[in-house]
Amino acid sequence: MEVRYDFGGDEYVFVDFDIEMSLEVNFKVLSICQDLEREPIPGVIEVCPGNASYLVHYRPEEIEPDKLVKELRQREHQADRIASISSRMVDIPVLYDDPWTKECARQFGDRHQDPSVTNLEYLMRINGFSDKQEFIHAHSGRPYWISMVGFVPGTAWGYQMVPRSRALQAPKYVRPRTDTPERTVSHGGAFMAIYPVRGPGGYQLIGMTPVPVYEPEGRLVDLRETRILAKAADRWKLRPIDREEFDAIRAAVEAGTYRYRIIEQEFRPAIYFEDPERYLNRLHEEARACSKS
């Protein structure tokens, strides 16, 4: 569809690229937003990316609305020639099929499509898996592209970097839960999300990570400045762990000594689309080499 530019009151411009999420569209959105951060337009206060759109907050006393839209259209056309996007590979340890989210699912079974099975078993069935380890491998085997950050502070929306035919699907609960444990790994629609704080929710519950994605106290070194782990254009690699490693990582988090495994990389969309599997493997190997050095 044609890119749509709308005004949101006197201080916002909403730029809408498409009605559905795709990596192609999100790459373009994030390349524009990163470009606006590197070379800001005078009068622009903040840029917030979405799955297939972005929002610009500006000062109308510094730049006229029509002039701003003209500038944004120029950035749009420049994004057709995306060379690279600044991205990070982030390791997310996950205890799949953990006792806490299973207990939460049991408590809210009357709101689920099938309370006779766990959420993970339900997703196995509707996605055509009979073996739990095969499902976990499919869920964690390829990184999740963080397309946007929003809703509750620290909530990141992860879109797995696989062909659409292999994308796991998960309907939301029939009625939302009134409670969900903090750090729950969940899936809704085609998106993976980790609950940053305890609260209501409707995504399917399949695991727990021992590391926070939102840390308002700033006790951990890697979150001291941002308080939030996620950045749009991150690639989160979910790494299955057992209960022993979960407890060890959690103890390090509680002691304030835990360090996230984060590798800065340049992501090149054109090379990715030529051969996604090969390119992701190459980036993963480069990240592993950097973490060892």
Per-residue model confidence as pLDDT tens digits over 150-165: 889 999 999 999 998 8
Q: List the domain boundaries for the chain.
A: 4-82, 87-292
Among candidate residues 230, 201, 228, 198, the one with its CA nearest the CA of residue 215: 228
Rounded Cα distance, 249 and 253, in Å: 6
More confident residue, 79 or 245: 245
Per-residue model confidence as pLDDT tens digits over 182-228: 999 999 999 999 999 999 999 999 999 999 999 999 999 999 999 99
More confident residue, 285 or 291: 285
Share of the chain above pLDDT 90, in %: 91
* Domain pair 4-82 / 87-292, same fold: no
Dihedral in degrees, nearest 10, Cα atoms 284, 252, 160, 204: 160
Q: How many C-beta neighbours within 10 Å does residue 192 have?
A: 26
CATH topology of domain 4-82: Gyrase A; domain 2 (3.30.1360)
pLDDT band at 293 (very low <50, low <70, confident <90, very high): low
Q: How many C-beta neighbours within 10 Å does residue 271 have?
A: 14
Rounded Cα distance, 203 and 240, in Å: 20
Q: How many C-beta neighbours within 10 Å does residue 287 have?
A: 22
Whole-number mean pLDDT of the chain? Answer: 95
Both tokens of 280, joined, read 């992701």
Is the pLDDT score of 107 beyond 70?
yes
| pTM of this structure | 0.94
Q: What is the b/e burial string over 200-214, where b = at least 16 CB atoms within 10 angstroms of the residue's CB? A: ebbbbbbbbbbbbbb
Q: What is the mean pLDDT of residues 10-35?
A: 94
Class of domain 87-292: mainly beta
Strand ranges inside 100-203, DSSP E: 144-149, 156-160, 184-188, 191-194
